[in-house]
Structure 1
Amino acid sequence: MFRTALRNVLAHKARLLMTVLAVMLGVAFVSGTLVFTNSLSTALQNSSAKGFDQVDVAVRPEGREDKGDTVGKTPELTQALLDRSARVPGAASAFGVVRGFTALADKDGKLVGGGFQSEGGNYWGTKDPRYPLVSGHAPSGRGEVLIDSETAKRAGYKVGDRVRMSVDGPVLTPTVTGVFTTDDGNVAAGGSLTLFDTATAQQLFGKPGTYDEIDVTAAAGTSQTALKAALDRALPKDTVETTTGKQLADDQAEIIASSMSGLKQGLLVFAGIALFVGTFIIANTFTMLVAQRTKELALLRAVGASRRQVTRSVLVEAFVVGAVAGVAGLVAGIGIGAGLKALMGTLGATVPDGPLVVSPGTVATALVVGVVVTMLAAWLPGRRAAKIPPVAAMSSVHAKATTKSLVLRNTIGALLSAAGVAVVLAATSMDGSDGQAPMGFGAVLLIIGVFVLTPLLSHPLIAAAAPVLRAFGVSGRLARQNSVRNPRRTAATASALMIGLTLITGMTVMAGSLQTSIDKMASAAIRADYVVSMANGNELSPDVERTLRKTHGVTLTSPLRNAPSRIDGQTEYLTGVNGAAIGRLTDLTVEEGSFTVGGDRVVVDDETAKSHDWTAGSHFTVHYEDGKAQQLTVAGVYRGNDMIHGIMLDTARLAPHQRDAADMQVMVKTTDGASGAVKDRLEKALGSNPAIRVQDKKDISNEIAKMFTLMLNMLYGLLAMAVIVAVLGVINTLAMSVFERSQEIGMLRAIGLERTGIKRMVRLESLVISLFGGVLGIGLGVFFGWAAGELLGTRMPTYELVLPWGRMAAFLLLAAVVGVLAALWPARRAARLNMLQAIKSE
């Protein structure tokens, strides 16, 4: 039986090629994902580890827990602590580290790198071991700065150039005195790093005389553990904590691995989708192969082969196909991994140098996935073939599915579909994240249910195309009959395309609806013409709001200033605003009381009010960050959203209790409204600062839209793999259908149907099957998009369903194109059949 199985594989090489390709693509995606993420993770970890080469023990401020009704303050690392650390037995040297956000502009005035990755720090002495100089000399004073070599290369800067930058205040224009190399992970990821001398860095980052961290190097013969123990004995335990360089590197590696796991899981989800789609093709292929060899299998049964042996022979074929596909997929996956790494570089994301990592786990996963998926898909056809009695198989009375099996299939499909719809509908009424898992489970049930029901659905939906197909004469009528002749095969072929289009349509509906909702939220909640913020999301200096207030044409301004506090024993963040202006700069729905902010009167969003059981007129005691307490009164309760929420009070009441006041945003109203000229005027008033963004409501919406568009395009690219696999499935089904109908096609040619008519028949059959899958996929995608939107609507009041009719029409056209392209080779093959040989074939 084993030799027979191997002979069958070799005898049907052309028929099994599409199955090998389907499995190979899925395996390639899985192994490519693993190679790419492992290589990137290893390169980042190695690069990060180099950054700790000069650190044996790091001294950091001890994190303080909130206690009672006061908000803890972070202890400071002073020069005295640095000197004491350097004198500890076993310490060779110690240097203080200062860090902070530094926005560096390129020669066109635009921010270099991403906002969150633009950092600054201090250069320790003339020979800082962390940052070897490539050229130039160490900086001295506010007028001199060092930049990293990657940034110098990208922005075109060299020693002697003047650069524009901002830390937290006016724009600086220092001279580049040197260029250095670094293994800093932010620079490796495409960010920038600028260095000042220590005194200047402390002054610019608002940390005069203090450090963010003290790095201590061990003397020869002293281990990191021994140095840490010595530092623990010498330094005050209640204000500082120590960590070895090895532990820092391990922690960083763990953080990188954790962050990469999200990317890995996301990519593997799409690989799984491609494999799931490929499973239908494999099952379809083996079903047809078994059906074509029924007499052969019946003869084996007649000469003594048991059912188990017949099933086993089919599984052996599947094992060989899966092993070949697994090996080919692994090789292709290594190429995909290398390609993804190179693609990140072309998109502007700098990836640290490092080899491709093909781990034993990746090899094992590729082979196991290829073999297991193929054998699972082939098991049911093999089992079905083994159950056919030899006499029935020899007479071909088994060819059609029994009424009992179809009724059972339709019943199971109806129950699964109904259960899926019920679970999805129930999930839409749940709150936010609570409904995500049930909705996902319901979606899986519904997709499986529709797949099981697809043979039943094929008759009415394909029948709807009959009037159009009649226009093509005999070829059109034959195409319709062929499409419904074997409903199970049609269902398996259409379902592969259905799943891909379901996901694509659902995501498109969600993205379009979310974008519209965000547009409405921005226009409905904000009356201000502009919102000013930092490029990296950090805090603004209060000087920004004072500068804007004095700018020509500005009529109203209000900061949004966050400050921690304690209320009822819990940490709550207060939002300081200009009480006299905030009501005219926002348009929030007031649910209770009045929108009045001033003195001890505050307004609270509905979620916060509900959590504390407050209503209009309620009194509560707040403990500010300086420990002082005060009683405030709830003047009104407003409906919060993702852009504006929290407890609003006047900055005049909040400012006396803040040590370092800073604003998250500043809202601005002007006499001329939003225009390009007004925006330029505001930017110039702020010194054309690269660190500060001036955005109108359209800019805010477009920024979010860019994020959605980028994500959607990435998802389209990933789901294209599933569509490619679906195309292979249509080609495979048609090719084997042509083979199995060779005698029928020969008869049609003999009675006068021309070759063009044969081609048209096969193409129309392919078109009908593809459009059938497309209609099902788009319908399910719209339903899932609506359901997910209902779930989001519980947290986003402005959410509304927006159906992208143009894109859905494009998706249906895509399904039609898939059908036409997939039919090219099978149609050509059918037309070239020798009619006499075809009529003689059995």
Structure 2
Amino acid sequence: MLRTALRNVFAHKARLLMTMLAVLLGVAFVSGTLVFTSTISDAFQKSSQKGYADVDVSIRQDGSDAPQGRETVSPLSQRALDKAANLPGAASATGVVSGFAALSDKDGKLVGDGFSTQGANYYAGRDGKGTDARYPMKDGQAPRAEGQIALDAKTAERTGYQVGDTVRTSVNGPVREEKVTGIFTTDDGNVAAGGTLVLYDNATAQKLFAKPGEYTEIALKAGPGVSQTALKEQAQKVLPADTEAVTGKKLADDESKAIENSMSGMKTSLLAFAGIALFVGIFIIANTFTMLVAQRTKELALLRAVGASRRQVTRSVLIEALVVGAVAGLAGMAAGVGIAAGLRAVVGNMGNMPDGPLVIEPNTVVVSLIVGVLVTLLAAWLPARRAAKIPPVAAMGALHAPASTRSLILRNTIGALFSAAGAALVLMATKADDGKAPMGLGAALLVIGVFILTPLLSRPLIAAAAPVLRLFNVSGKLARQNAVRNPRRTAATASALMVGLTLITGLTVIASGVQQAVNKMASDSLKADYTISMANFTQLSPEVEKKLVQSDQVTATSPLRNAYADIGDESEYLTGVNGSSIGKLTNIDFTAGGWPGLSSGKKVVVDNATAKEKGWKLGSDFTVTYEDGRKATLTVGGLYEGNQMIKGILVDNKAVTPHMSEVADMQVLAKTKDGAGDEVKEALTKQLGDNPAILVEDKKDISEGIAQMINILLNMLYGLLAMAVIVAVLGVINTLAMSVFERGQEIGMLRAIGLDRRGIKRMVRLESLVISLFGGVLGIALGVFFGWAAGELIAGAGLDTYTLVLPWGRLGIFLALAAVVGVLAALWPARRAARLNMLAAIKTE
């Protein structure tokens, strides 16, 4: 039986090729994901380890007990640094201070992505005459005074800046003109991943990122023969209050763990799409083995007649699957390494990844092989079981018996139950507070149920295409009959395409609804013509609003300023606004009270959700304790419907600003006399010094920015789901090719009675087109339903403006894509059918 199984594998090489390709693609996705994420993780971890090579112990502020978002005074002063430097086990002590620093390129654009653009101090010793071992100078000299900076070598290479050039930077809003005095090398992980690092002299960095004389960290280098643990014990004896000592090894390990955790999300997402491709591949594999078993009914029945047991027949089919899975797994593993190498090269060329070799871990090889073999065996198990049930007498009968009425009734009943249960769970989830889990389960049950019901659905849906197919005369009629001749085969083929299009359609419907909801929210909530914020959405200097007020175009402004305070036993944040102008800049739907009295600094307006939580009503008084410990009594002067853009407790800035340790804005709203327009936007940008770190956006910009992010995400998802569609195409090709082989005698007879080669090709193409469109219609219908259901969850989670949007243009494209899949998949099978020798085909049993 083993020899028989192996002989059948080699006898049906062409038939099994498409199956192997389906498994190969899925395994390649899995192995490529594992290799790529392992490579990225290893590269970043090694880069982070290099970054901590000169740090044996770090003394840093212990902010674990500080209220979230509060500014605290750093206890790491020059005195603390001097004490640390005098420790007997310390060879050196370096004061560290860092923060966000935007750098403009020669075209005035922001260098880096805004989130890894950092600034730090060059610590040249207490007297300022030493060198900082962290940043060896490659060219020029370190910055020694305000107005001087040094750039990392990679940023200098990207931007073309050299020593002596004047560059423009920004830390929290205002533009700074700086002279490049040096270019340095560094092992900083952010720089290796495409970020930028700007160095200032120690005093300037303290002023920009902390306070004069303060540091955010003290890095200690151990002397000869002193371990990190021993140095840490010494450091703990001189620790200022609210600080902690951490070894360099722990810092590196923590960062490595953080990198690994950040990679896990990407790995999980990519593996999910690999799983989808493999799930689609299961349809193809099961279909292929079902057809192979059907074609070999006589052979298997004869094996039973000469003494083979059911177990041996099952084992024979599963051995074929094992060989196919093992070969496809090995090939998929190799292809996955190639995919990972390509992805690494692309990411590396974008400058977002440090250098490092490809990392192929042993578990990647094992997982790839196991996945390939298990998926193939799982898909082949049912066909193998059917093969074992073939009675020996079938050797004298027809090629294979059609499915019994009882089996079809049982299948349709099970499919109806699964579909009903799935649809009920999905509908129930839309009304639940947390419906993610029931919706996921319901979606899975519904897809399985529709798959089981697909043979039943195929007849009426394909029959609906009859009027169009009649236009193609005999070829069209034959194509329709062939498509419904074996409903189970048609169902398995169409289902592979259905799964991919369900996901693509659902994601598109959700994205379209979210986009419209955000647009509506922006237009409904804001009267302001522009919002001004930092490129990395960090805090903005109050100087920005002062500059805007000086513009002739600006008629009203209001900074949005977060101020933390205690209300009762809870820490909350108040949103400071300009009480006299906020009503001209926002469009809030008040349910009680309003803006009057807000500018006095004694009244607040509160969204209904917060008021309900606190038990407040219009006129309620409450006591707040500000950052500096001072208390005040505020009165609720208005209740409004909050949304994702405007919510919380709004109070006049004059009430909160005096109590803030550091005054900063989250964004500024501005209204102009000429309204939003390119010329006005350009004027405001110039008023702010053409600052690359500041975003000046109108409602259209906000909408387009969100649309761009959504489209980028969708395109990424489309690219990942393309793997499932490609596998589905292989399934259609495989089914048609084997169907042509099965119908060889029939095709020969059609040729003999007058149907020409063109008619044969048209028949196969139309059959493929009908099957693909059938899968496409099912996929789009399910995708729209899931998109609506997920949208209900999104609306219930707080995006009240969400409504169902059907992007008819894209849905039409998806249906056309299904048609293109059908046409392309039929090219080779149709050509093969047309080239059959009619006499040889008629003689075939």
TM beyond 0.5: yes
> Separation in 2 of the partners of 1:637 and 1:790?
26
Counterpart contact for 1:302–1:390, Cα < 8 Å: yes
In structure 2, the residue matched to 1:182 is: 186
Please say if 1:497 is aligned against 2:497.
yes
TM-score, normalised via structure 2 length: 0.97
> Separation in 1 of the partners of 2:396 and 2:617?
82
In structure 2, the residue matched to 1:409 is: 411
Deviation at 1:592, TM superposition (A): 2.8
User: Secondary structure of 1:174's match?
Assistant: strand
Counterpart contact for 1:558–1:668, Cα < 8 Å: yes
In structure 2, the residue matched to 1:524 is: 524
The equivalent position to 1:269 in structure 2, one of 269, 272, 285, is: 272
Deviation at 1:657, TM superposition (A): 1.2
In structure 1, the residue matched to 2:754 is: 752
Please say if 1:84 is aligned against 2:69.
no
Deviation at 1:64, TM superposition (A): 5.3
Aligned AA (1:457) = L
Q: Where do 1:712-727 residues align within 5 Å?
A: 712-727=714-729
> Separation in 2 of the partners of 1:311 and 1:595?
78
User: Secondary structure of 1:109's match?
Assistant: coil
The equivalent position to 1:343 in structure 2, one of 346, 350, 361, is: 346
Pick which of 639-648 and 278-287 moved more. 639-648
Aligned AA (1:723) = V
In structure 1, the residue matched to 2:802 is: 799
In structure 1, the residue matched to 2:121 is: 122
In structure 2, the residue matched to 1:706 is: 708
In structure 2, the residue matched to 1:538 is: 538
Please say if 1:242 is aligned against 2:245.
yes
User: Secondary structure of 2:167's match?
Assistant: coil
The equivalent position to 2:625 in structure 1, one of 619, 623, 626, is: 623
> Separation in 1 of the partners of 2:73 and 2:323?
64
TM-aligned CA distance change 1:313 to 1:74, over 3 Å: farther
User: Secondary structure of 2:177's match?
Assistant: coil
> Separation in 2 of the partners of 1:295 and 1:114?
66
Q: Where do 1:674-693 residues align within 5 Å?
A: 674-693=676-695
Q: Deviations over 1:512-557 (max 9, x none)?
A: 1111111111111010011111111111111211221222121111
Pick which of 34-43 and 601-610 moved more. 601-610
Please say if 1:836 is aligned against 2:839.
yes
Aligned AA (2:86) = R
Q: Where do 1:500-649 residues align within 5 Å?
A: 500-596=500-596, 597-598=598-599, 599-649=601-651
In structure 1, the residue matched to 2:14 is: 14
Q: Where do 1:189-228 residues align within 5 Å?
A: 189-228=193-232
Fraction of identical pairs, as percent: 67
Aligned AA (1:739) = F
Aligned AA (1:161) = D
> Separation in 1 of the partners of 2:62 and 2:784?
52
TM-score, normalised via structure 1 length: 0.98
> Separation in 2 of the partners of 1:313 and 1:631?
83
> Separation in 1 of the partners of 2:63 and 2:513?
42
> Separation in 1 of the partners of 2:493 and 2:50?
52
In structure 2, the residue matched to 1:100 is: 99
Counterpart contact for 2:748–2:838, Cα < 8 Å: yes
Q: What stretches of structure 2 of length at least 5 have no aligned partner?
A: 125-129
Counterpart contact for 1:501–1:811, Cα < 8 Å: yes
> Separation in 1 of the partners of 2:70 and 2:727?
57
User: Secondary structure of 2:72's match?
Assistant: coil
> Separation in 2 of the partners of 1:309 and 1:14?
25
Q: Where do 1:12-91 residues align within 5 Å?
A: 12-63=12-63, 65=65, 73-91=72-90
Counterpart contact for 1:70–1:566, Cα < 8 Å: no
> Separation in 2 of the partners of 1:791 and 1:588?
24
Q: Where do 1:269-348 residues align within 5 Å?
A: 269-346=272-349, 348=350
TM-aligned CA distance change 1:70 to 1:205, over 3 Å: closer
Please say if 1:256 is aligned against 2:255.
no
Deviation at 1:568, TM superposition (A): 2.4
Deviation at 1:73, TM superposition (A): 3.3
In structure 1, the residue matched to 2:767 is: 765
> Separation in 2 of the partners of 1:76 and 1:154?
38
Deviation at 1:70, TM superposition (A): 13
Deviation at 1:638, TM superposition (A): 1.3
In structure 2, the residue matched to 1:827 is: 830
Q: Deviations over 1:650-708 (max 9, x none)?
A: 11111121121110011111111111221122222222222211111111111111110
In structure 1, the residue matched to 2:482 is: 482
Aligned AA (1:228) = K
Pick which of 178-187 and 450-459 moved more. 178-187
Deviation at 1:296, TM superposition (A): 0.7
> Separation in 2 of the partners of 1:392 and 1:567?
83
> Separation in 2 of the partners of 1:739 and 1:529?
68
Aligned AA (1:76) = P
> Separation in 1 of the partners of 2:17 and 2:220?
62
| C-alpha RMSD of the superposition | 1.4
> Separation in 1 of the partners of 2:727 and 2:664?
54
In structure 1, the residue matched to 2:127 is: none
Q: Deviations over 1:470-509 (max 9, x none)?
A: 1111111110000000000000000000111111111111
Deviation at 1:429, TM superposition (A): 1.2
Counterpart contact for 1:70–1:623, Cα < 8 Å: no
> Separation in 2 of the partners of 1:70 and 1:781?
41
Counterpart contact for 1:70–1:565, Cα < 8 Å: no
> Separation in 2 of the partners of 1:335 and 1:465?
43
Please say if 1:695 is aligned against 2:697.
yes
TM-aligned CA distance change 1:108 to 1:13, over 3 Å: same
In structure 2, the residue matched to 1:655 is: 657
> Separation in 2 of the partners of 1:716 and 1:349?
24
> Separation in 2 of the partners of 1:397 and 1:203?
87
Counterpart contact for 2:526–2:586, Cα < 8 Å: yes
Deviation at 1:606, TM superposition (A): 2.2
Deviation at 1:30, TM superposition (A): 0.4
In structure 1, the residue matched to 2:109 is: 110
The equivalent position to 1:391 in structure 2, one of 387, 390, 393, is: 393
TM-aligned CA distance change 1:584 to 1:744, over 3 Å: same
Q: Any runs of at least 4 consecutive aligned residues in structure 1 with deviations exceeding 3 A, and if so which?
A: 69-75
TM-aligned CA distance change 1:70 to 1:584, over 3 Å: closer
> Separation in 2 of the partners of 1:365 and 1:679?
55
Deviation at 1:397, TM superposition (A): 7.4
Please say if 1:357 is aligned against 2:362.
no
> Separation in 1 of the partners of 2:69 and 2:123?
36
Counterpart contact for 2:298–2:399, Cα < 8 Å: no
User: Secondary structure of 2:804's match?
Assistant: coil
In structure 1, the residue matched to 2:157 is: 153
Counterpart contact for 2:97–2:210, Cα < 8 Å: no
> Separation in 1 of the partners of 2:374 and 2:11?
23
Aligned AA (2:824) = L
Deviation at 1:206, TM superposition (A): 4.2
Counterpart contact for 1:64–1:73, Cα < 8 Å: no
> Separation in 1 of the partners of 2:328 and 2:703?
46
Counterpart contact for 1:70–1:624, Cα < 8 Å: no
In structure 2, the residue matched to 1:460 is: 460
Counterpart contact for 2:57–2:247, Cα < 8 Å: yes
> Separation in 1 of the partners of 2:490 and 2:40?
42
User: Secondary structure of 1:112's match?
Assistant: coil
> Separation in 1 of the partners of 2:816 and 2:469?
17
Deviation at 1:198, TM superposition (A): 0.6
Counterpart contact for 2:84–2:93, Cα < 8 Å: yes
> Separation in 2 of the partners of 1:327 and 1:248?
39
Counterpart contact for 1:54–1:130, Cα < 8 Å: yes
